[in-house]
Structure 1
Amino acid sequence: MADPGNHPATDEPRSPWLRGGFVLAAAFIGFVTVIAGAVVFTSDTAAPQDRAATPRPPADRAAAGEPSPSGAGESCPELSDTRQDVPTAAPRNVTWALFGAVAVPTSEASGPAVAGKDVARCYAHTPVGALLAASQISVRYLAADDWRKVTRLQTVGAGRDAYVAARTEAEKAGSTDQDGGAHGQIAGFRFVTYHPSTGVIETVWRFPDGRMQAATTTVLWQDGDWRLEYPADPVAPTPVGSLAGYAEWGGV
């Protein structure tokens, strides 16, 4: 995440990813909970290579002959995580690696089971899988070189197409600032609600000056994997003074 600097005015994009120098086209305004300066990241950090495993049965959509949103029309490997208890502490056996400037989590048991340069997919159908998916996708659809691919494959919701159109126009207009900035990192989380079809997770992001913001994201289980919901009217992140009430969790 990029440092938002001063608190944004109400007519600016509302996001814990904001930094003062990041300028967006008017169509971008108010566009997400977890979007902004991360689009200036590079994604040169090596990601885990695709790992072969026993495939899951095809999703209903693929079976019906419709295009699969999984990327290459491939099913996901089986993962060993089957636990359905919602974590209240940092999940075990999670490793962290930088994707651009932001540390993202990975677990052999919970996913992502398949990761390439931009897309990391195939998460366990469990609360921990939902947490990892929310963390990974929230960063990658902003920071990936091919952010359109990540957005198309791994986000759903009424606001997605408007985001793609607005960001595309902003890039064409040269209205993104490439001067860098301070980036926030995941510092903690708590589940708001969890159901096998939906996970609502509040993630705390810490910036280099110590300030923190909490952003709520929703992931939906669709077509055999978790996908990030992109609502038409995202909720603004909120400042938090401490990690009290959250599970401390992070890689940096």
Structure 2
Amino acid sequence: MSDIPRIFDRTLIARHLSRRAATDDVFTKLIHQDLDDRLGTLKRRFENALAIGPTLELLPEHTATADGPVTFARLATIDTEDDDGLPDMAENQYDLIVSVLDLQVVNDVPGYLSRLARSLTPDGLLMAVALGGESLGELRRAFLEADTHIFGGAFARVAPFIPLRDAGGLLQRAGLALPVADVETHIVRYSDPLALMRELKALGAANPLVDRPNKMATRGLIARAMEAYGEAAMDDDGRVRATLELLWMSGWSPHENQQKPLKPGSATVSLTEVLKDKSKA
């Protein structure tokens, strides 16, 4: 683990989460709704399911597939210690694991996914949701404008997110079969940019980087950023928009009965013949 760079300050994240108010937030509602929709079409029963994430308040307790209800055991992975974020879990324990907003606060994402994959029973399903690469673009651009105006340069004030193009490779690297990754894009609205920032802080996502800028977010900087945000993303009713990408990743623990890709050369109809037929249409 000594070779894994420390990107996220997990002690700071734990402190933010400990101050989290016991209220629903837009992020959690959207995630739970998407999860229900995705599992609701799956014809499969899960008898031993786990929901895992930074804090219990983010995690679902119940959902359902097309074949019946699912009840989750729940595990929080952020505590008051600055740990590596890799949960201590038994192998071959769960037939369903859902990771909620954990991938953007662990320093070793491949190691984390591999640990979860080893905890799956054969033909068990891993689903993970994280903020996608285009999330909070309005906020990033607002702080870029404010930092440039006040300090003459840009600083990392919003944590990096996983791009969609990397998601499938991460699942395969973890040893999962039939990997799938896609993005759900939501436009959410807030009374003002500060309301968005308060919600991000409650989620532990308020600049959790170890290498935070030494230029403090002064009142002047915040005011300039909020002004830039309003100019770029305010609607006629005075509310502001925020783009939220939910990156969903899923893969199955290998099993002999799973569908396998066809071997090269095993097709019974050649592509040349198919294209020839279409050209006659």
**Structure 1 length normalisation: TM-score?**
0.24
**Structure 2 length normalisation: TM-score?**
0.22
Determine which structure has the larger helix proportion and give its number: 2
Higher RCO, Cα 8 Å, sep 6+: 1
Larger Rg over CA atoms: 2
